[in-house]
């Protein structure tokens, strides 16, 4: 009897030891799972939001892992029989069954939520994501009376000027580089491109982390002037920083449930830097129809953040709606307005944006503009759409003609012997005529010429080495083609007395320079007006000209009021 009691005691003691070991194993595995989950969250800081597909994937993995931990005690039974059978016969613990049931439920929610957002069932909802109004281009877009104030610089050129500016600052260039992203913004209704500096490496960050990023680059895309703006206090919370000072991690951990779609560097009207972080959410089903629902504005100097709902965003903020998101919303409108079936079969009335977009400053807002073409796809536009990056307001202009890349090719063809490449064009209104204007750059990315291309008749191309001259040449083409509209009112008229005439040979031919008695200078290509050979010092003429910022104006035509020769003859006869 004593031996039997001892055996029972030993067995019970062994069971207690086994149970204690199992509990320790469970505890260790649970802690390990929590540590791994925490490390993953800190490293990748995903948003905790049901409208993210990755969120549901993480939920499924988590419940399966927890179920496996709780199932260790029944693992032997589960392995010795069918797992489904073991589940049905309750050979697994309650917690195991609960975790795996929740994993299956999460999969079902994911599937149902995905189906609920399919375009097949919700085409109308997608097409209503953007409200588009039709406007008359000639009436709605202000006529351009000069082009020297138009921003024609693209991001590639901005990088060249920005890097060149920082390269001249020895104390800055050794520790920092310029971010690749240049944001188009409006400061007091004037266009600028801005980009923050970034740490050149981890060790550069480590050595300078207490000071932060000392400034940013601000470029005027009209006159190509690059300025380095030094800050009184450095920006510590930036994308190129590490650990808790990494901007993306800092903002996401402050707002763990927000889905952040970008981190855009901007400055307010006083020049103070901020990062604008648009937040998005799904509006159709669980994952479909993603759209902006607010912004988080972060002060990179202090790290202070504040969330603004979509209707309360400060007016100085420009980049709320990303250009690619606006294009996507317009394509939903253009393709799905007549239903999903029509978008696949027949495609009647379906239209979409071209594959790129430009920027235009109107008032104090930044608008993107892009051509609109038929989904059947040819090399022509059926119109243009302009969309406000702050409010998502959309305006459609029914203007048929060349799409942007065709116009770029036409401009390059005019100077093909030089091998220049055209930048993405800007769209302007010249006397009621939709017109592309762009720069032509050499292989090094430097601007060499300017080009203007008629949208509806893209074989009408004007090129020149200056903005004022190309504008003059283009207006002459419009006048000759009968599409001039109100071209004449874009020129200025003046009576002058000629004080000097010079003929100078250039790469573009002979230029005639006329100086008047007030010291103002005008020029015109001799090939455009051979009557210039008759001009003499002392002649009084009425000229039409295009004002130029450099003081050398472009003369488009002239008429005699009084010739110096006539006055000499009259003086001789009277004498």
- Residue 433 clears pLDDT 60, i.e. is over it: yes
Based on the domain organization, do 174 and 313 belong to the same domain? yes
Based on the domain organization, do 103 and 162 belong to the same domain? no
Tokens 């009968």, residue located: 482
In a domain, 212, yes or no: yes
In a domain, 232, yes or no: yes
DSSP character at residue 74: G
Q: Which two tokens stand for residue 273?
A: 């830097």
In a domain, 444, yes or no: yes
Based on the domain organization, do 507 and 529 belong to the same domain? yes
In a domain, 263, yes or no: yes
The CATH code of the domain that includes 554 is: 2.40.50.140
Quote the pLDDT of residue 468.
80
Based on the domain organization, do 314 and 418 belong to the same domain? no
Domain boundary among 269, 294, 320: 320
What 3-state DSSP class applies to 212? coil
**Most confident residue range from 64-73, 184-193, 280-289, 397-406:** 280-289
Torsions phi, psi for 49 (to 5 deg): -150, 135
- Residue 78 clears pLDDT 70, i.e. is over it: no
Nearest to 522 by CA among 487, 486, 496: 496
Q: Which domain holds residue 509?
A: 491-574
Alpha carbons 33 and 43: distance in angstroms, whole number? 15
Spatial contact of 184 and 193, defined as CB atoms under 8 Å apart: yes
DSSP string, 521-546: EEEEEGGG-GGGGG--TT-EEEEEEE
CA distances from 302 to 121, 298, 315, 421 (A): 47, 9, 22, 43
CA distances from 118 to 280, 337, 458, 463 (A): 18, 15, 40, 49
Based on the domain organization, do 501 and 442 belong to the same domain? no
Q: Confidence class of residue 569 from pLDDT cuts 50, 70 and 90? A: very low
- Residue 162 clears pLDDT 90, i.e. is over it: yes
Report the range of poorest mean pLDDT among 66-80, 371-385, 411-425, 441-455.
66-80
Q: Which are the contacts of 505, defined by CB distance < 8 A and separation ≥ 6? A: 511
- Residue 105 clears pLDDT 60, i.e. is over it: yes
Angle (nearest 5°) at CA 359 between 353 and 361 = 130
In a domain, 347, yes or no: no
Based on the domain organization, do 168 and 315 belong to the same domain? yes
CA distances from 527 to 106, 453, 531, 532, 541 (A): 77, 21, 10, 10, 20
In a domain, 523, yes or no: yes
Domain boundary among 488, 504, 530: 488
- Residue 10 clears pLDDT 80, i.e. is over it: no
- Residue 467 clears pLDDT 90, i.e. is over it: no
Based on the domain organization, do 80 and 170 belong to the same domain? no
Domain boundary among 488, 503, 523: 488
Based on the domain organization, do 199 and 310 belong to the same domain? yes
Per DSSP bridges, beta strands 421-422 and 426-430 are: unpaired
For residue 256, how far is the Cα from the chain centroid? Answer: 26
Spatial contact of 192 and 220, defined as CB atoms under 8 Å apart: yes
Spatial contact of 126 and 119, defined as CB atoms under 8 Å apart: yes
For residue range 487-498, list pLDDT tens digits in order.
555 678 899 999
In a domain, 547, yes or no: yes
Helix, strand, coil proportions of the chain in percent (round to 5)?
Answer: 35, 30, 30
Alpha carbons 448 and 420: distance in angstroms, whole number? 8
- Residue 89 clears pLDDT 60, i.e. is over it: no
Q: Confidence class of residue 563 from pLDDT cuts 50, 70 and 90? A: confident
Alpha carbons 472 and 5: distance in angstroms, whole number? 113
Based on the domain organization, do 179 and 276 belong to the same domain? yes
Q: Confidence class of residue 127 from pLDDT cuts 50, 70 and 90? A: very high
Based on the domain organization, do 183 and 310 belong to the same domain? yes
Q: What's the whole-model pTM score?
A: 0.84
Based on the domain organization, do 165 and 259 belong to the same domain? yes
For residue range 407-429, list pLDDT tens digits in order.
999 999 999 999 999 999 999 99
* Ramachandran assignment for 224, one of left (phi > 0), alpha (psi -120 to 50 degrees), beta (any other): left
What 3-state DSSP class applies to 456? coil
Tokens 């601007």, residue located: 447
Q: Which two tokens stand for residue 377?
A: 């796809």
H or E element in which residue 170 lies: helix 170-173
Based on the domain organization, do 23 and 62 belong to the same domain? yes
Torsion sign across C-alpha atoms 243, 247, 251, 256: negative
Spatial contact of 245 and 209, defined as CB atoms under 8 Å apart: yes
Q: Report how many domains make up the chain.
A: 4
Alpha carbons 99 and 87: distance in angstroms, whole number? 12
Q: Confidence class of residue 484 from pLDDT cuts 50, 70 and 90? A: low
For residue range 274-296, list pLDDT tens digits in order.
999 999 999 999 999 999 999 99
Residue 526 vs residue 542, higher pLDDT:
542
Spatial contact of 103 and 303, defined as CB atoms under 8 Å apart: no
In a domain, 375, yes or no: no
Mean pLDDT computed over every residue of the chain: 88
Report the range of poorest mean pLDDT among 25-34, 324-333, 395-404, 465-474.
25-34
């Amino acid at each position: 009897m004593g031996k039997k009691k001892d055996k029972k005691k030993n067995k019970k003691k062994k069971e207690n030891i086994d149970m204690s070991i199992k509990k320790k194993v469970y505890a260790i595995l649970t802690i390990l799972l929590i540590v791994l989950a925490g490390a993953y969250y800190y490293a990748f800081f995903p948003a905790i939001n049901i409208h993210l597909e990755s969120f549901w994937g993480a939920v499924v993995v988590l419940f399966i892992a927890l179920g496996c931990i709780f199932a260790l005690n029944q693992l032997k039974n589960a392995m010795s029989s069918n797992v489904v059978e073991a589940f049905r016969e309750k050979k697994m613990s309650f917690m195991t069954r609960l975790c795996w049931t929740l994993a299956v439920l999460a999969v079902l929610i994911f599937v149902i939520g995905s189906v609920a957002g399919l375009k097949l069932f919700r085409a109308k909802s997608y097409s209503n994501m953007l409200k588009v109004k039709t406007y008359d281009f000639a009436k709605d877009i202000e006529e351009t009376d000069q082009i020297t104030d138009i921003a024609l610089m693209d991001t590639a050129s901005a990088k060249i000027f920005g890097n060149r500016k920082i390269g001249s600052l020895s104390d800055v260039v050794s520790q920092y580089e310029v971010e690749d992203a240049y944001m188009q913004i409006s400061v007091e209704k004037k266009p600028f491109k801005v980009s923050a500096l970034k740490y050149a490496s981890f060790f550069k960050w480590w050595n300078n982390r207490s000071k932060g990023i000392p400034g940013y680059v601000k470029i005027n895309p009209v006159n190509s002037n690059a300025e380095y703006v030094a800050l009184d206090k450095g920006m510590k919370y930036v994308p190129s920083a590490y650990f808790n000072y990494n901007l993306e991690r800092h903002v996401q951990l402050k707002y763990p449930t927000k889905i952040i779609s970008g981190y855009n560097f901007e400055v307010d009207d006083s020049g103070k830097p901020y990062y604008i972080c648009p937040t998005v959410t799904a509006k159709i089903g669980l994952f479909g129809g993603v759209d902006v629902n607010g912004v988080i504005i972060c002060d990179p100097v202090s790290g202070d953040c504040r969330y603004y709902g979509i209707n309360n965003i400060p007016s100085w903020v420009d980049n709320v709606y990303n250009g690619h998101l606006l294009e996507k919303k317009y394509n939903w409108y253009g393709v799905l307005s007549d239903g999903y079936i029509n978008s696949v079969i027949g495609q009647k009335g379906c239209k979409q944006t071209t594959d790129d977009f430009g920027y235009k400053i109107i008032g104090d807002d930044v608008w993107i503009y892009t051509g609109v073409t038929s989904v059947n796809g040819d090399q022509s536009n059926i119109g243009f759409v302009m969309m406000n990056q702050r409010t998502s307001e959309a305006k459609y202009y029914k203007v048929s003609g060349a799409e942007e890349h065709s116009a770029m090719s036409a401009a390059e063809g005019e100077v093909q012997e030089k091998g220049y490449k055209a930048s993405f064009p800007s769209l302007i209104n010249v006397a009621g005529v939709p017109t592309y204007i762009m720069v032509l750059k050499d292989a090094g990315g430097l601007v060499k010429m300017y080009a203007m291309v008629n949208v509806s008749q893209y074989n009408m191309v004007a090129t020149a080495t200056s903005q004022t001259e190309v504008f003059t040449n283009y207006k002459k083409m419009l006048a000759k083609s009968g599409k001039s509209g109100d071209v004449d009112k874009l020129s200025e008229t003046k009576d002058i007395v000629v004080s000097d005439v010079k003929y100078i040979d250039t790469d573009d031919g002979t230029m005639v320079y006329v100086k008047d008695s007030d010291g103002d200078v005008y020029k015109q290509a001799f090939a455009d007006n051979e009557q210039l050979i008759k001009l003499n010092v002392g002649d009084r003429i009425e000229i039409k000209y295009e004002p130029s910022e450099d003081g050398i104006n472009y003369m488009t035509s002239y008429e005699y009021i009084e010739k110096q020769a006539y006055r000499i003859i009259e003086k001789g006869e009277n004498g």
